[in-house]
């Protein structure tokens, strides 16, 4: 993993932890509950990916920075909650960068253990979205991913972009391009109100 990716990975981890902690406080979990929810949201996707592709131990077990980032989400939310909520676009932006990075890291790790590109794309998406799915299951909500936003679709497009561009370009450049694609697809989806078919919520 190149150094740029590591720092953006830290940023994504913090953004995901904050999103877990915010939902935990909305659900009136206690301090420990919000911490667990932040933890699961931040590392759930990469952990499931590593379990599925048989990599061990997980990255967050070997680098305590992940712990400090996740713990720090608690004071961040405690002191800056109203700022964060006003500043929704900022959180959304962090979160979007996060899923972009998680997707590309997921694809690369899966390829590096010798699995096929098809599996790598799937694992890229899993890395990016599964933390949020776990967060929603543990809060007893239907996972957002199943109904709102073209979240997973943006990851899919980014993962495929990475596979293609990594073939022709430097790894670093391919990473940056693919992360940008995830971000652009997600933002376009929201600005242009894209919806995938099968979604007939408008009837209700």
Task: Compute the least distance from the CB of residue 50 to a second copy, in Å.
Answer: 9
Task: Compute the least distance from the CB of residue 119 to a second copy, in Å.
Answer: 5
- Phi then psi dihedrals of residue 159, to 5 deg: -65, -45
Place of tokens 């599996």: 119
Task: Compute the least distance from the CB of residue 146 to a second copy, in Å.
Answer: 3
Distance CA 179, CA 177 (A): 6
Of 1 and 58, the one with the shorter C-beta distance to a second copy is: 58
A 10 A CB-CB count for 142 gives: 9
Task: Compute the least distance from the CB of residue 73 to a second copy, in Å.
Answer: 12
Of 89 and 203, the one with the shorter C-beta distance to a second copy is: 203
Task: Compute the least distance from the CB of residue 34 to a second copy, in Å.
Answer: 6
Site residues for a second copy per CB under 8 A: 24-25, 27-34, 36-37, 47, 51-54, 56-58, 61, 64, 67, 78, 115-116, 118-119, 122, 133, 137-143, 145-147, 150, 152-153, 156, 195-201
Beta carbons within 8 Å of 109's beta carbon, 6+ residues apart: 49, 50, 53, 55, 123, 127
Of 139 and 180, the one with the shorter C-beta distance to a second copy is: 139
Per DSSP, 165 falls in state H
Of 8 and 20, the one with the shorter C-beta distance to a second copy is: 20
Place of tokens 């890395």: 127
Of 157 and 176, the one with the shorter C-beta distance to a second copy is: 157
Give start and end residues of each alpha helix (H) in 54-150. 59-62, 65-86, 88-112, 117-138
């Amino acid at each position: 993993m190149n150094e740029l990716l590591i720092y953006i990975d830290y940023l994504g981890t913090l953004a995901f932890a904050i999103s877990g902690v915010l939902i935990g406080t909305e659900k009136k979990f206690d301090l420990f509950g919000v911490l667990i929810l932040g933890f699961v949201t931040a590392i759930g996707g990469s952990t499931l990916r590593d379990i599925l592709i048989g990599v061990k131990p997980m990255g967050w077990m070997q680098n305590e920075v992940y712990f400090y980032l996740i713990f720090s989400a608690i004071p961040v939310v405690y002191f800056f909650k109203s700022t964060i909520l006003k500043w929704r676009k900022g959180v959304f932006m962090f979160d979007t960068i996060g899923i972009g990075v998680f997707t590309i890291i997921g694809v690369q790790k899966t390829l590096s253990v010798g699995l096929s590109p098809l599996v790598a794309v799937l694992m890229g998406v899993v890395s990016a979205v599964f933390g949020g799915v776990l967060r929603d299951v543990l809060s007893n909500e239907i996972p957002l991913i199943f109904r709102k936003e073209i979240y997973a679709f943006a990851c899919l497009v980014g993962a495929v972009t990475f596979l293609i561009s990594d073939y022709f370009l430097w790894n670093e450049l391919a990473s940056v391009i693919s992360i940008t694609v995830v971000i652009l697809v997600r933002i376009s989806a929201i600005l242009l109100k894209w919806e995938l078919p099968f979604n007939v919520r408008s009837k209700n």
